Structures are given as structure tokens and as C-alpha cells.
Amino acid sequence: METIFAARTTAKKLQLRLELSNVRQRDMTVADYTSKIKDICDSLASIDVNVEEGEMVQICLGGLASKFGAFRIAVCTRENTPSFFDLQSMLLVEENHMSASTSTHADNKMLYTDEDRPRAHGGRGESARNGGG
């Protein structure tokens, strides 16, 4: 019985380690992505496998979506590595900043598009179509 349990534990450990090394953000939110990393680490801890804080940070940074490229560089070039908890907080702020920036850009683009729309009586588009200038 002990041999079977040890074999299952070893297999589980290998599976979780592989899952942890392959975790990628892709289209997950920062909260879901960091939660997934934390859950895998907690599962490893439950079978007496400790994942160091620095390793968690490294795994998290390595699996971030490409839109976090500048953020990743900024964190990697810092003198002190943040804790995983601090990294989560920083990522959430960055994600919110990106969302706000994207929505502001979309609003500005919509305003620009509305301004350039042809008008029924002598708008920019109409005078260009009629050869006027």
C-alpha cells in the first residue's frame, strides 16, 4: 500500500510540476492567471513540495501575455524582485491601466470617426465626392 501511495504521489508531483512550468496567461485575466499559479503551488505544497517565492514570480513573469512585455522588462530589471503577492498587485494595476487606456483610445477613435463622417449638407465627405475643394 505504501509503495502504491508513493508512486501516486510521485506521479502527481511530476504532473503538477509540468503543469506549473507550462502555465501561460493567454486570454486569462491577471486574477485568473495568478490564481491558477497559486492553486498549482498549493497543490504541490499539499504533497510536501515547496515552490519558492522567487520561482513563483519567475513562472508568472515567463507566462505573461505579450501585451505585458514592457511590464515584464521593468520588473526583471528592478534591483529587488517583488514577492508573488506584490507582483499580483502590480499586474492588476497594469491590467486596469491597459483597459482604461484601450477604452479611452476607442472613445477617441469613435469621436474622430464621427467628425469625419460625410454630412448631408456640405460636409467634408460630400465636397470631396463632388469634386469641390
What are the mean pLDDT values of the chain's consecutive 10-residue runs (133 residues total)? 75 95 97 98 94 97 96 94 96 94 64 53 53 54
Domain count, the chain: 1
What's the pLDDT at 124? 53
Q: In the prediction, which pLDDT does 101 show?
A: 83
Note every long-range contact of 86-94, with CB atoms under 8 Å and residues 24 or more positions apart, other chains counting.
87/34, 87/57, 87/60, 87/61, 88/30, 88/34, 91/30, 91/34, 91/60, 91/64, 92/30, 92/31, 94/30, 94/68
Give the domain extent around 105. Answer: 2-129
The predicted model scores a pTM of 0.73
pLDDT of residue 119: 57
Q: What is the pLDDT of residue 104?
A: 65
* DSSP SS3 for 13: helix
